Amino acid sequence: MTEEEVLQGMIYPPISKIRDITKEVAAAVVKEAVEEDLAEGYRDVDARELKKLSENKEELLNYVQINMWVPEYPTLVFKKD
């Protein structure tokens, strides 16, 4: 959160920033898992590749963003044209 948001009395960040914040948290978790030798990899990326990714913050953030779940729901109500 920005200093301005804290000064405004906000406790939680705006929902519009939730995916960016989630990306930062996930990248920090991956980096810590690599540092503690707990990372096993994900999909086509093994632990060695994760270690290499965790050395560059921008690459790690990009990797996390690419692998984030995106909530896309089909329309459930029939629209008559």
Where exactly are the structural domains of the chain? Answer: 13-66
Cα separation, 22 vs 24, in Å, equals 5
**Please, which residues have CB within 8 angstroms of residue 57's CB and are 6 or more apart in sequence?**
27
Please give the average per-residue pLDDT across 51-59, as a whole number.
Answer: 93
pLDDT in tens, 18-47: 999 999 999 999 999 999 988 888 888 888
- pTM value is 0.75
Cα separation, 57 vs 37, in Å, equals 18
